[in-house]
Amino acid sequence: MLDDRHTRNGRVAKQYPEEDIAIMMTVYTRAPEKWLLVDRETGQAFVGNNMGSWDRLDPTINEEKRNASKRI
């Protein structure tokens, strides 16, 4: 099992069992950009590209929306 990790709100993150060896997972598709891969432990997200690999999606913060939500 993975170590306990706590989120900012103090909740304990779910634990996922680890295998002894790495597992290769393959997706066969004609539309790779429609696929989204999310690491449920870390929250990292990746989108498929037409070269057959995964591109990491970096979160962005829209300051206008952030400030508007604070006013409500």
Q: Is residue 11 part of a domain?
A: no
DSSP letters spanning 40-72: TTT--EEEE-TTSSEEEEPP---HHHHHHHHH-
Domain that holds residue 53: 32-71
Q: Is residue 64 part of a domain?
A: yes
Assign 34 to helix, strand or coil: helix
Q: Is residue 53 part of a domain?
A: yes
Assign 36 to helix, strand or coil: strand
Q: Is residue 15 part of a domain?
A: no
Question: Total domain count for the chain?
Answer: 1
Q: What pTM was estimated for this model as a whole? A: 0.63
Share of the chain above pLDDT 70, in %: 81
pLDDT at 51 over 90: yes
Please give the distance of CA 24 from its chain centroid, rounded to a whole number. 18
